[in-house]
Structure formats: structure tokens, C-alpha cells
Amino acid sequence: MPRVKTGIEGFDDLVDGGVIKGEVILLAGTTGSGKTIFSTQFIYNGVTRYGEKGVYATFEEDEASLQRNMLKLGMDLKKLEKTGRIKVVGLQAMKEAGLNANLDYILETVRELKADRLVIDSITALFMGTGEQFEYRTLMHLFYKILKKIGCTTIMTCSIPAGSATLGLGIEEFIADSVIILENVLAGAELKTRFLIRKMRGTSHSRTYHDVLIGERGLKIVPFSTM
């Protein structure tokens, strides 16, 4: 099975060298746990290191805020957009349009760019943002099927409410292929972020917690430390 490198330091080696091409990966985590940084690095590295084009659909924060925050970590998305190899799309401009139109817009953008990678940050915000009422399970199922069909290697993020149990996301049973979890935990007086691969189909993956370090050069995964 062809694999795709994320280029995220410490990650690819934990999953047989990369994620399976065309897979849909659920990246679930509490707020501030690094979901957006992880996802942006996936897209950014895809273009700059592996010649893969990417679409980043941002629904948690607007495009300007994403661009500003990622620039601080050395990722100039604006500049990259000008090369025509990535596209950042947001919900802001189309709040009135409804979920269906938003999905169409994402898929259209993927098709136009001939994107290899796609991020949806987050499905929680995408589903809630339009204010429509949905049956969540049915919607998840449908959405997942669509994403698999378009063939991009996709990361969709999902917000977990702080304090909820990590294992047993509720929806993960429907997103059977791959689930990665990021969570903020208190270690003494320090807030740490840890990382766990809950499942990854067709992959002999790491089954232990790792630490997540975020610094000026972005996010990396390092061995778990009890310090």
C-alpha cells in the first residue's frame, strides 16, 4: 500500500513510515492540543517536501487568523497559495449557504486544484457552523464515504470537549480506519500535550502515549516522558 509522509517530526516512524494514501484520518483533541498545527504541517510539508498539492478547509478559525498563527511557526500559507499548490478555504464567506453548499465547495476546490491532501478543520465546526439540524451519525457516515471517494489523503479534525473521556469518542466507531488523539493533561503544575494512535487500519502502529512538543518551528512527537 502506498504511504504518504506527513513530515511531522517523530510521527511517520510510528506508523510504518507514513499514512496510507487516500485514507481518511480523524484527528481528535481538546482545544489547544495542536490539531490545527498538526494539520497545517501535513499540508505544508506535502507541498514543500513531497510535491503533493493540498486544500485546507478552515472552519474553526478564519483564514486570516490561521495564516497569522501559522506564519509564527514558519509556515507562510499566503506565499504558498500564490504558487497555486495549496488553497485555504473557509466557512466565513458562506455561512448562509448551508452544509451542502459548503461540502460542494470543498470538493470543487479539491477537484480544481487536483489536490492530493485535504484537511477539514474541524468537522465539528463544519457540521455545527451552518446551524442546520442533522442526525450526526448518518451525516458522519455519509461524509466519510464522500471523502474516501475523492481519493485525497485526508485529515479531519474533531474537537473533544475538555474533561470528556478520551477513549470512546462516540463517533469513532463510524470512522473506523484511523483515529489519532491529542490531549492536554496536567502533569503536576504543568500542562502537557500527549498523543496516542487509537487505531490505524493496515498499519502496525505505535500503541503507546507520546509527548507533543510545540515550539517556534512547529509541532513534533517525542517519546513519553514522566518528567
Ligand X SMILES: Nc1ncnc2c1ncn2[C@@H]1O[C@H](COP(=O)(O)OP(=O)(O)O)[C@@H](O)[C@H]1O
Q: Of the two residues 70 and 106, which places its CB atom closer to Mg ion in the complex?
A: 70
Query: Which residues, 6+ apart, have CB-to-CB distance to 70 below 8 Å?
Result: 37, 40, 44, 76, 77
Give which of 49, 40, 46, 1 is closest to 21, Cα–Cα: 1
For residue 160, the minimal CB distance to Mg ion (Å) is: 12
Which residue, 113 or 213, is less far from ligand X as judged by CB?
Answer: 213
Identity of the residue, 33 or 203, whose beta carbon is nearer to ligand X in the bound complex: 33
| Torsional class of 51: left (φ above 0), alpha (ψ -120 to 50), beta (otherwise) | left
- Is position 172 an interface residue for Mg ion (rule: CB under 5 A)? no
Strand partners, 182: 29, 195
Binding mask 5-44 for Mg ion (x = CB under 5 A): -------------------------------x--------
Distance separating alpha carbons of residues 100 and 112, to the nearest angstrom: 18
Give the interface segment with Mg ion, choosing from 54-62, 93-101, 111-119, 128-136 (CB under 5 A): 54-62
Shorter beta-carbon distance to Mg ion: residue 36 or 124:
36
CB of 99 to Mg ion, least distance (A): 20
Output DSSP code: residue 113. H
